[in-house]
Amino acid sequence: MNSVGEACTELKREYDQCFNRWFAEKFLKGESTGDPCGQLFKRYQLCVQKAIKEKDIPIEGLEFMGPSKGKTENSS
């Protein structure tokens, strides 16, 4: 699946792989602490935000939040 910004597709894929694994193997089993995908998400986000501005997509009232605010960033 592509990203809205063509240049972001690769970053998106890396993040998605990380997230899907964490979601199925940790989050759904009750381990929601820890966020192994934080760095990937940040890089992917920077790209997406830029693409959205460039394409003038009308996103309103959505804060661009980082992953798992308030949780300690432990890389696992």
Partner 1 sequence: HPWETVTTAAMQKYPNPMNPSVVGVDVLARHVDPSGKLHSHRLLSTEWGIPSIVKSLIGTCRTKTYVQEHSVVDPVKKTMELKSSNISFTNLVSVDERLVYKPHPHEPDKTILTQEAIISVKGVSLSSYLEGLMANTISSNANKGREALEWVINRLNAEIEEFTASARGTMRNSMAAAAFVEK
Identity (one letter) of the amino acid at 62?
Answer: L
Please compute, for residue 52, the number of CA atoms within 13 A of its CA located in the half-sphere on the CB side. Answer: 12
Q: CB 75 → partner 1: shortest distance, Å?
A: 17
Q: CB 14 → partner 1: shortest distance, Å?
A: 12
- Name which of 70 and 76 has its Cβ closer to partner 1: 70
First to last CA, the chain: 26
Residue 31 CB neighbour total at 10 angstroms: 11
For binding to partner 1 (CB under 8 A), which residues are involved?
1-5, 8, 12, 15-16, 19-20, 23-25, 27-30, 32, 41, 44-45, 48, 52, 55, 57-60, 62-71
Q: CB 76 → partner 1: shortest distance, Å?
A: 13
What one-character DSSP code corresponds to residue 6? G
